[in-house]
Structure 1
Amino acid sequence: MGVITLENEFAVAVAPAKVFRAYCLEIDTLLPKILPEHIKSCEIIEGNGGPGTIRKITFVEGKELSYAKQKLEAIDEENLTYSFSLIEANVWKDAVEKVTYEHKFVPTPEGGSICRRTSTYYIKGDAAEINKDQINDVYGKKTAGLFKVIEAYFLANPDA
């Protein structure tokens, strides 16, 4: 089994506590609300929202990814850190065992935030069809887009 580790930063013009709340604590209700063209539903299927909780995200029909299951690994509201593992999805199912994402939200001098994310892909066998550039091109851009949608939501709804 191989391991691919990537580090990314995503800038958001919203305070870290708000982005953390949206991305980590309220994702079940917020994602379908702000991304209805992509997300059909987001639900907890096991647990109470703390570490060990399993969440299932169901995407609208016609997307490459139809569903994904995440396991919440750790959450620290005081230090604005959050980690989860993608434990099941219908893409790369024969090539990837799991992906673990560790997030840290830090303030910027302008009042916004930076999300620093480390992604660790646990590759089954030699799975040569997966490489760092492919992951960064596809999933790094999708995550950057997600943070821009969250940013737009809070800029349009500052009291949310």
Structure 2
Amino acid sequence: MGVFAFTNEYASPIPPARLFKALVLDSHNLIPKLMPQAIKSIDIIQGDGGAGSIKQINFIEASQLKSLKNRVDELNEETFTYKYTVIDLKEKFESIAYEVKFEPTPEGGSKNKMTSTYYTEGDVELKEEDVKAGKERALGMYKVAEAYLLQNPSAYA
């Protein structure tokens, strides 16, 4: 098994509390509405959405992947920290763990840091395009949510 970790940072004009509410606490409602071209639904199939819960992301029919399951490992509304693990992966990966932290900036926005740790099966080599594709999907979701929050200043306030 191989272990590969990557960290990305992203600055946003949106305060951490609003981003955390939209992208973490209410993602199962908001993200399918904002990204219907990719995500059909997000269902909490075990738990209440907090630590120990399992969320299933259901993709549209045309997607290569039918669904994906995330296990919530930690959810801290005070420090705006969220840790989750993608589980039940079919090939290449045993699991992929994510740690997301939203921190305030002096300008009133936030600095968002995401660390991705890939646990590969056997001697599978992690390809740069796999990492790049995952990074682009995450950034795309951030941008869509950020645009929504900028256009709707009272949402998740």
Q: Same fold (TM over 0.5)?
A: yes
Q: Give the TM-score normalised by structure 2.
A: 0.94
Whether the 8 Å contact between 1:10 and 1:147 is mirrored in structure 2 is no
Letter in 1 for 2:120: I
- After TM superposition, the score normalised by the length of structure 1 is 0.92
What letter corresponds to residue 134 of structure 2 in structure 1? Y
Q: How many residues align?
A: 155
1:87 maps to a residue whose letter is I
Counterpart residue number, 1:137 = 132
Aligned to 2:117: 120
Quick one: which amino acid aligns to residue 63 of structure 2? K
* Residue 77 (structure 2) pairs with residue 100 (structure 1): no
What is the root-mean-square deviation in Å for CA atoms of aligned residues? 1.2
Amino acid at match of 2:116: S
Separation (CA, whole Å) in 2 of partners of 1:64 and 1:108: 38
Q: What is the DSSP-based 3-state SS (H/G/I as helix, E as strand, rest coil) of the residue aligned with 1:121?
A: strand
Amino acid at match of 1:157: N
Could you list the per-position Cα deviations for residues 73-122 of structure 1 after superposition, in whole angstroms to 9, with x for gaps in the alignment?
00111111010000024xxx221010000011011222211210111111
CA distance in 2, matches of 1:153, 1:53: 26
Name the counterpart of 1:44.
44
- SS at the partner of 1:19? helix
Contact kept? 1:32, 1:41, Cα under 8 Å: yes
What letter corresponds to residue 39 of structure 2 in structure 1?
A: I
Q: Deviations over 1:38-86 (max 9, x none)?
A: 1101110011111110000101111222211000000111111010000
Does structure 2 retain, via aligned residues, the 8 Å contact 1:45–1:54? yes
| Secondary structure of the corresponding residue to residue 51 of structure 2 | coil
Segments of structure 2 that go 5 or more residues without pairing to the other structure are none
